[in-house]
Structure 1
Amino acid sequence: MDELLGPASAPVRQVLLKVHSRCNIACDYCYVYQHADQSWRDRPRVMSRATIDLAAARIAEHAGKHDLPFLSVILHGGEPLLAGPDVIDYLVRTVRAAVTSHTKVAFGLQTNGLLLTDRFLELFAAHRIRVGVSLDGPAAANDRHRRFADGRGSHAGAARALRRLNEARHRPLFGGILCAVDVANDPLEVYHHLLTFDPPEIDFLLPHGTWDRPPPHRGPDQDRTPYADWLIPIFDRWYESPAPQTRVRLFESLVSLLLGGPGGAEGLGLGQVDLVTVETDGSLEQGDVLKTVAPGAPATGLHVRWNSFDEYLDHPGARARQAGLAALGAECRRCPLVQVCGGGLYAHRFSTRNGFGNRSVYCADLAAIIRHAARRLAADLPPPSAGK
């Protein structure tokens, strides 16, 4: 397989910095804490200033070597706000000071919102950090999974943060809402609740799982499509909206790919994945979703102290994420939907028997929603001109 993949050809353009390795709530589906890889237990709680310095130097090195016009730095966890405003302030200042090339560095942060105070909002405004908040719908829907360790729900705190971000003075900081799909919830009720916060973008996330450990409601009957059945009513409502003010990343990516354009969501299309993760101890890792696969699955053995991002890109895992069609199993390569589906999210293909050479555990769902969207587009596009 390594010979087929060849060297990675796209530089890193997204750096996910794990500024804190713990969380203040206990979501029962969390891929960091509730799945196979438990490496968080042995990592520092907060990224040290020495590690921040090393990471900043590697970011600057990579940006300069590849003459990058743009690079995104995402502050993540755990819950990144647990790191405190001083750590975040130091990190952003250090990265910006290190990147002396013409590269524009954009900062984002993904949070549950429960610790979003005035001090954080002032800091984010000063540094132009865009903030995404995780919310799974109305209180009953959200609090089924996104709870404190003592069982209390987190909806009220997340909703309070979203209302703050939607105030006129904070609106430029508002990145959007990340929503994990639970088919036990009413899809349109969830969608309309998220829209009440007027987010600039919504991103729907399928629950992570593999063939060894399938996601909820994704049983042995591969003809069933519970997740497509959940998403399709939302797609139709979004598609039929005369002037949607809120982008839905999954649907925009799907439509773009169907029309021959680029994707914008990691789990669709054959585009190259240009992300590296820096853990609190400075380890360079692949995407967090691989924590659902096996202990140590995201690990590369590399570290910001000794290894560059180019060395990370030469790791077999990173190369597989950039190999497009060549990285997929034979069944996927033959599929007529592969240019749009892209095999689905990398980790969702895994089984201990075949590694990542399987179709996605969500294959039937992906096929159903792709075909539905294609039918909607075909009905609205003008017919080909005569004689062409």
Structure 2
Amino acid sequence: MVGTPIRQVLLKVHSRCNLACDYCYVYQHVDQTWRDRPRTMSRSVVELAATRIAEHARRHGLGRLTVIFHGGEPLLAGRELLAYAARAVRAAVPVTTAVDLRIQTNGVLLDEAFLDLFGEHGIRVGISLDGPAAANDRHRIFAGGQGSHGLVAQALDRLRQERHRRLYGGILCTVNLENDPIEVYRHLLTFDPPRMDFLLPHGNWSAPPPGRRTDTADAPYAEWLIQIFDEWYATRPQRTGVRLFESLIDLLLGGRSGSEVVGLSPSDLITVETDGAIEQGDALKTTEEGMAATGLHVASSTFDEAIAQPSFQARQAGLAGLAATCRACPLVRVCGGGLYAHRYRAANGFDNPSVYCRDLTRLIRHIHARLSTELSALRTREPG
């Protein structure tokens, strides 16, 4: 075995976007290789990617894998190509492997025709939204400056209808310290998502995220998230799960993480770009140009060849792959060093704690305290 098998494949079916979000990790950071790639994945590359996915599933006896249509904005690829890609993947993968097809979109083009197509092919839909109009439209805008909230809200209203509800994957929200966290959370709940997740904006020690100074002891992102956690936790059982919070609770109780942001589980994600290049996750594009590249292509290389590379192995090394500071930390099995890309520093690469170390520490300790208080209360109620 060369490494942990791939169980999540990101297919970049389109390399451009119809929004101009100023925090976008694809277009607004140091790696600009998207400029040299075809706008749309060709059918021949789709077929090659499907072949590689199927080959990997057979070799490793995978019972389940996830394929995510991504971009850019994947809906720009059009209904015909998305249908073709869905058919190609399902036809190639062995019947012993269940394929979970998903698409992550900004939602502005999501109409009934797309939803009917996704229903036909069993493609679940995730939509990005950063809160109510004033919050979302700070950054999620069109090139001309117009906000996207109205169109995204319409898309979510379509998706939550009973006839499409089974396709509803959830909402992704990027944390913005300028926005009121409770207002954001409650607004997202109005769309009745089955799940949501809050993403820390990409940054590192050489290019810190907004509002995050590396020379102070503050933890502004933790304080933002804690306000939402407390409201979410107080209203259990929730119809809406929050992936980051659920992952931290599971880890604190001895389980596994459902997020690559926390925990020590090895990365099992691979990306296929529109030109067929095999790459690591996009977050690495916020560190240095070419950091996500492997030099491999679906026409000539397998996924096993990719995960055998040292750069992939570093993301699958678990505890041994962390900085000494992290390995000595009592929270390491919960934090896991944070997202790999957030550990980067130009002087020494990824041999550092996360740039969000203080935020993760504060958030984990807060959740641990809430769990401990509840468990203590339960013990006192147990009969003697």
Which range, TM-score by smaller chain?
over 0.9
Partner of 1:350: 344
Task: Establish whether residue 14 from structure 1 lines up as the match of residue 8 from structure 2.
Answer: yes
Contact 2:11 2:272 in 1 (8 A): yes
Shift of 1:316: 1.3
What's the CA shift for 1:239? 0.8
How far did 1:219 drift?
Answer: 1.0
Asked if 1:362 corresponds to 2:356, the answer is yes
The question of 1:75 aligning with 2:69 is answered yes
Counterpart selection for 1:228 from 211, 222, 243: 222
Give the match's secondary structure for 1:302.
strand
Q: CA–CA distance in 1 between the matches of 2:256 and 2:380?
A: 22
Deviations 1:322-367 (A, max 9, x none): 1101111111110111000000000000001110001110000000
Name 2:41's counterpart in structure 1. Answer: 47
1:341 corresponds to: 335
Residue 234 of structure 2 aligns to which amino acid in structure 1? Answer: E
Task: Find the counterpart in structure 1 of residue 151 from structure 2.
Answer: 157
Residue aligned with 1:332, SS: helix
- AA partner of residue 41 (structure 1): R
Superposition CA RMSD, Å: 1.3
Select the residue among 154, 173, 186 that pairs with 1:192: 186
Give the equivalent residue in structure 1 for 2:80.
86
Give the counterpart letter for 2:307 in structure 1. L
Aligned to 1:182: 176
Q: 2:121 aligns with which of 122, 127, 139?
A: 127
Aligned 1:277-296 pairs, distance under 5 A? 277-296=271-290
2:291 pairs with 1:302 = no
Structure 1 partner of 2:365: 371
In the aligned structure 1, how far is the partner of 2:242 from the partner of 2:142? 28
Identity %: 62
Aligned residues of 2:3 and 2:308 also touching (Cα < 8 A): no
TM-score (norm 1): 0.96
Q: Distance in 1 between matches of 2:33 and 2:105?
A: 21
Aligned partners of 1:109 and 1:165: how far apart in 2? 13
- The question of whether the paired residues in 1 share the 8 Å contact of 2:205 and 2:214 is answered with no
- Structure 1's 384 and 13: CA in aligned 2 closer, same or farther, altered over 3 A? farther
1:48 maps to a residue whose letter is: S
How much does 1:99 deviate? 1.2
Q: 1:66 aligns with which of 60, 67, 77?
A: 60
3-state SS of 2:101 partner = strand
Shift in alpha-carbon separation, 1:384–1:258, aligned structure 2, 3 A: farther
SS at match of 1:131: strand
**Alpha-carbon shift at residue 315 of structure 1 (Å):** 1.2
Aligned counterparts of 1:277 and 1:248: Cα–Cα separation in 2: 25
Which of 200, 204, 209 lines up with 1:206 in the alignment?
Answer: 200
1:380 to 366, 371, 374: 374
The residue type equivalent to 1:228 in the other structure is: A
Segments of structure 1 that go 5 or more residues without pairing to the other structure are 1-6
Task: Tell me if the contact between 1:8 and 1:323 (Cα under 8 Å) persists in the aligned partners.
Answer: no
**Residue 269 of structure 2 corresponds to which residue in structure 1?**
275
Partner Cα separation in structure 2 for residue 363 and residue 306 of structure 1: 40
Query: C-alpha separation between the residues in 1 aligned to 2:162 and 2:53?
Result: 33
The one-letter amino acid paired with 1:147 is I
Q: Which residue number corresponds to residue 240 of structure 2?
A: 246
Q: CA distance change for structure 1 residues 377 and 8 in 2, over 3 Å: closer, same or farther?
A: farther
Equivalent of 1:145, from 133, 139, 143?
139
1:318 shift after superposition: 1.2
Aligned partner of residue 52 in structure 1, secondary structure: helix
Contact 2:214 2:355 in 1 (8 A): no
Which 5+ residue runs of structure 2 have no aligned equivalent?
none
Partner residue in 2 for 1:34: 28
Q: Take 2:73 and 2:170, find their aligned partners in 1: how far apart are those partners?
A: 17
Whether the 8 Å CA contact 2:21–2:141 is kept in 1: the answer is yes
- For the Cα contact (< 8 Å) 1:64–1:101, is it kept in 2? no
Paired residues of 1:55 and 1:282 also in contact (CA < 8 A): yes
2:111 aligned with 1:117: yes
- Measure, in 2, the Cα distance between the counterparts of 1:196 and 1:50: 41
Moved beyond 3 Å, runs of 4+: 382-386
Indicate if the aligned counterparts of 1:63 and 1:101 stay in contact, CA closer than 8 A.
no
**Do structure 1's residue 260 and structure 2's residue 260 form an aligned pair?**
no
